Each structure stands twice: as C-alpha cells, then as structure tokens.
Chain A
Amino acid sequence: ETGVTQTPRHLVMGMTNKKSLKCEQHLGHNAMYWYKQSAKKPLELMFVYNFKEQTENNSVPSRFSPECPNSSHLFLHLHTLQPEDSALYLCASSPTALALGEQYFGPGTRLTVT
C-alpha cells in the first residue's frame, strides 16, 4: 500500500464504548497529524507528532488520547465520547512538522457516536 491509510473507514460507537482509530503512512515521513472535520465547520487540527513526540495539542478533550509508537503509525484512542464528537477524523503526514505545506491526507474515519 502507498500513501496514508486509515482504519476503520466507518465506526459507530456508544458513549460508553472504547475504540481506537489507526493511521499508517508509507511515505517515510516523520510528522503525523490528527484533524477533525465536522459538518459546516472548518477542518480543526487536533494533534501533531514530530519524530514520535507530541508537539501540539489543540486543547483537545482528554476523552481523545493519541499514541504514536513510531513515525509510521498514529492512533487515536476514544472513550466516553459525546454525540457532538461525531465527525470525519482525518490523519495526515508530512516529511517533518515544518513541512506543513506538504501534508498528505488519509481517507478519514467517519465516526458516529450514538
């Protein structure tokens, strides 16, 4: 596989569930990002990892917990979510966190919280 992949593509979960989103990049990049895209709102940056270290947390609630075990993989662990957390979650990568203009995006995970 090439590029940036995300699994699952669709996820429905209850507010008491725990689930994880996975992102994998095959581009040899060192920076990875999580974005949230809600209906009728601009794309919001959630987290940035550069060389496996978290460099930005955009005031994201603690019910979202990121994990970056290596430069190729990024996870977003979810627990006790709210219905307003339903959105498209996009992962992206770039050569480094300084190369913001060279981000490659995955297809996203469509999350529905019931």
Chain B
Amino acid sequence: KQEVTQIPAALSVPEGENLVLNCSFTDSAIYNLQWFRQDPGKGLTSLLLIQSSQREQTSGRLNASLDKSSGRSTLYIAASQPGDSATYLCAVIETSGSRLTFGEGTQLTVNP
C-alpha cells in the first residue's frame, strides 16, 4: 500500500527566505506526483504536476523535483511571501492509475 509522508509537518519562516518542503513515498511505481496548496477552510489548488519521466517542474517562484528511484520529491519556494502561507500537500498517482494518495501536508507560515 502506497504511503506518502511529508516533512516537516509545520514550518514558520520570515518573509524573503527560501525554503524546501519534503515529500517521500514508499512505492516508486508512480505515474506522476502532484503538489497542491490548501488555504484554511478551502479546497485544494494544484501547483505543479511532475510526470514520472521528468526530474523537475517550475512555475514562478516554485520548483518541484522528483527522484522516483529514491521515492522523494521536494518543493522549493524562493523568496517566500506572507501570501504563501498555506498547507502544502503532496500526492502521487500509482502506475495502476486508480487514485491519488496524499500526504498529511506541511503547514507553512511566512511572517512579514
């Protein structure tokens, strides 16, 4: 059974800092990996999707990397802003393609 773990569970940083969020998964037979953002009391917004054949994806200040063989992904946020404060969720789709398996998330607070 696929398990997804995110470290740290919570992170508080001053504005302007570069930071890294970590995601690990137990079964490397994945189809793709996705990073989401969730604001308090709201649904999920997709940030980046990395196909299993890719090593990284970039969108603005966000860069996500994938090392499938070691079962790891990182989300790098450059020059963090208070508006980046949210919970960041990592999810994988296995090659069976049947479902998204989510991690518990990292709650990020960027202090002005």
CB within 8 Å of B: which residues of A?
4, 6, 40-43, 45, 48, 56, 58, 88, 90, 92, 98, 100-108, 110
Contacts and interface: CB of A to CB of B under 8 A. Distances in A.
B64 interface: no
A108 B42 contact: yes
B61 interface: no
28 contacts: A6-B43, A42-B103, A42-B105, A43-B89, A43-B91, A43-B102, A58-B99, A88-B41, A90-B43, A92-B43, A92-B44, A100-B93, A100-B97, A100-B100, A101-B31, A101-B34, A101-B93, A102-B46, A103-B100, A104-B46, A105-B36, A105-B43, A105-B44, A105-B45, A107-B42, A107-B43, A108-B41, A110-B41
Nearest to B33: A101
Interface size for chain B: under 10, 10 to 19, 20 to 34, or 35 or more residues? 20 to 34
Contacts of A101: 31-32, 34, 49, 93
Q: Which secondary structure dominates where chain A touches chain B?
A: mixed
Contacts of B103: 42
A49 to B, nearest CB: 14
B98 interface: yes
B108 interface: no
B45 A100 contact: no
